[in-house]
Structure 1
Amino acid sequence: MNKVMLVYDENLIIKDLIEILNWNELGLKITKISNNRNDAIKKFIEDPVDIIISDINIPYLNGLELLKHIKSINNKTRFVIISGYDKFSYVKEALKYGADNYILKPIDKTELKLTLEKIIIDINNDRDIENKILTKNRILFQYINGNIYKKELVKIKNYLGFPLENRNYTVAIITFINKNKNDLTIFIEAIFKEIFIEGYEILHRYDGQIILINSWEKDIKYSKVKNFYEKLKNKIIGTLKQDIFISIGDLTDSIDEIEFTYNIAMALNKYMLTEGKNICLDRHSLKYVNNTITFTKELETINKLIIKRNFYELKNYIEDIFDNNELTPKNIYDFCIKIIFLIHNILEEFKLEKINDKYEDDSLSNIILELCNENNKENIKKFVIYELRELINLMVNADICYSPIIRQVINVINKNYNEELSLKTLAQKYNINSSYLGQIFTKEVGVSFSEYLNKIKNNKAKDLILNTNMKINDIAKSVGYIDTSYFYRKFKKYFGVCPSTLRNMKKY
């Protein structure tokens, strides 16, 4: 049932309006009554209605001003103006701002009823169209993500903006950088209509990105396709004053390959980190560089600067690394993930993990996933620098002290983690009771001997997963785990992700 608001400052006329029609029979329900413009706007914002019937003369400006204001909030709201003025200028202005009718007093019951019946038909038609669009968009999303078969797409072929056969196709992703708060949908779609003669579909993602699926002539050359996207980029920048990044998937000659071209566009979208703004990027224009940077020396330097508590030198060092224009998005994510693990290790080594629970094992995978979803290079750099500053602050404020015997035990574990180590053998080595050694180890380090040993093994395994192509089974054995399934359980319990998942994160 569609909701109606009556706006009148005369109670008698309000009563007449309520009684003049059988509202339920029309499928309408009067849910709001107001006697002035300000109150009407307030009630509309609290609980929007589908139709507003308003007198042209109401307190605090007039009904036409109310019409303009409501339309600026929700352009789909339908409006009927009631007036005692028959001047054409009033009628013209009301229709200009979107009124459905301008009815003169005394109110003609038949005219009002016919007006409302027409509005209801329009509303229902609009909703049918919206539902079809939502269904179409949902199916397209599922199809380009490989979640449904082509037969589901064929069911909606009559609602698509392009044919499913004898065409070429591309998928592009448009990312708005520092997008303003205004809804640009209408303007963007108008630009698309101006640029693209061929068929296309637009999908709006929840994060503000636009997925553009284009259909092209069978014999079109890719250079011409790229030119269309360049025109689109320039038009959006010039018209909307918005910085954007467009990643373009490969041109394919079959709708069956649309998932592939979408995945290419998604992968290229990450290059906004390194390529900058206001460009159209495809695989042909991407600069391929050596992608096998391990950052071993850089991490050693970072570790030394952290131990020295020298934040300003550390900050400058991180900024210099990010200024390297030869880094790929994969390099940047890889570098940042390794810093996260470095922070995690230092927090544990110096018994600071209880102070900063964000880096507890259960939260670590969430931090990594959140980082990999960020596509702004400056934001990633700020995040890393902030985390390092917080770490140094914790270290400065913490009282860190191990006894000589525990320091020796820790050194043995760090060097010989892949061998058979036990409290009993170490106690014999240092001529101390094994139970007592276990007690003071747990007291000073904060975890038991076995927990600390597993921590070192898992961290070494993590480094091998991220920095080498060794098989997971071989990594398990190299760090001292004979049983691979046992290694998987311990690793996932420690880091929140299994070894194979962590390795896949390198692909982003």
Structure 2
Amino acid sequence: MERYKVLLVDDEVEVIDIMEQKIHWNDLGFKVVGSATNGVKALELVEKLQPDVVLTDIKMPYMNGLQLARRLNEDYPNIYIMICTGFDEFEYAKEAVHLEIKEYMLKPINSTELSASLEDLKETLDREREEKLNVKKLNNYFQEALPKLQSNFLISLIEGRVGEEDYDRFLQAYQLDMKGPHFCCVIFHTSANHVPDGMDPLLLSMSVEREIKDRLVEEWECKEFIYMGNTLLILELDSKEKMAQVTDACDRFCRWAYRIMGAVVTAGIGTVCDSLRDISISYEGARDAISYRVLYGTKRAINIGEIVPKEQKQTAQPEEISMQELLRAIRIGDPEEIKEMAHKEIEKIYKNTETISQHNLATLEIVSRFVRFCTNNSLDFNEISGYSQNIYEKVSQMDESLLTNWTVNMSMAISDCLMNARNNTSKRLIVDAQNIVKDRYMEADISLDEVCAQLGVSNSYFSSIFKKEVGKSFISYLTDYRMDIAEDLVLNTDEKSYTIAEKVGYLDANYFSYVFKKKFGVSPSKYRASAKK
């Protein structure tokens, strides 16, 4: 084992020589690494040699032993100090006790006594070294386990299982320095039903996770972990406006994963929250977004904030787990699944309730959860239910058949209203985009990116709903609108082609003529000439 280092300090060189010769340092587990004849020189050697023990005299020039001890206690508190002095004065001994000197011995030095003191000191040093090694091992083990501990904490956080009193403590203990100020949860779901031939689904999912780490995690401030077979990211955002960029980046990754790896990946993006404590709300939104793949398709990113009504409140709370499947079916809008999930909910009530009170409470809970769901999605429950003033009482008095029918019908009605609200939001977005084209078609620099930024949506979502509603891409719509204006100018004015080109947003007259000919079959000049015949 490595020997402990000793520095000898005494203004008498002969005393240092005697200690070096008479003490069997090596046998005791020590080695003398240097010596000094005053405290100032000793401090220089301490910084250079980093000894474990300093054995010093008191009376020395420039800086005495007690002054040296005070400096060592301040700057090097782990060094053990032993004093050997020819001055048996009470004040010296008193100060030595105050400075927690390990040994205070009088000269002439007795080699047997000093050796015994060194033996005791070695036992102390050995114990401390062992404790330090144990602490180091524990710290190393903790650092190795830290990513797993962080993942477990984040899983508890998205599930809403971290209490207010434990939040800060765990955040500090697991070294999670996530300042935000905004946070968002993203789920990457890799389909196990669409796997390239010869590829194991689990292996494909692991490959997708690795690519997410390489392509996205390095680019963003986020934490990545695996949960329920999906890859999850918790993002830190300095601005809510960056969500469109996040959505487009996720969309590009999903398309890349399918093109290069053959993996059908869907990214579900939750709402933005202002505190990591509320990340469970964003996670629930990301889960909902994933479920919308049956409507919007796979191999793409789906941002829940873009497909729910724009007025939905960000502070809305997720519904209870017991009705989660029914509410999810309502969001998707599949009538058969809605009926199936509604029947299951009512069956559970009649299976698990034994008293009238339990039955009444369960039926009231169904109504309450419908009300909460409508509120969360900016729908008017009273309007949907027919403005019944005693709805709670009426539902609690229904038998199983009536309650089942009411639950199915209410679920269908809420789903229809939700779909209409979603469609209205999409239509408003399309109208807004068309108005932008109407106001700015003459600007050469108008682009899909700029329009999406102005509307506050991602390219991927806007492009999909625009083509679905209008029947053509946004760029095609913009081009057709410009060409319609250009046609009118060609037919009803005598302006040159390059002037018309500038008026409809084309700086290059040749390119304008190319686009015009592609649309109408002939150049602008020939089109004008043929119209005058």
User: Do the structures match in fold with TM over 0.5?
Assistant: no
TM-score normalized by the length of structure 1: 0.35
Larger Rg: 1 or 2? 2
The structure with more helix, counted as a fraction of residues? 2
TM-score normalized by the length of structure 2: 0.34
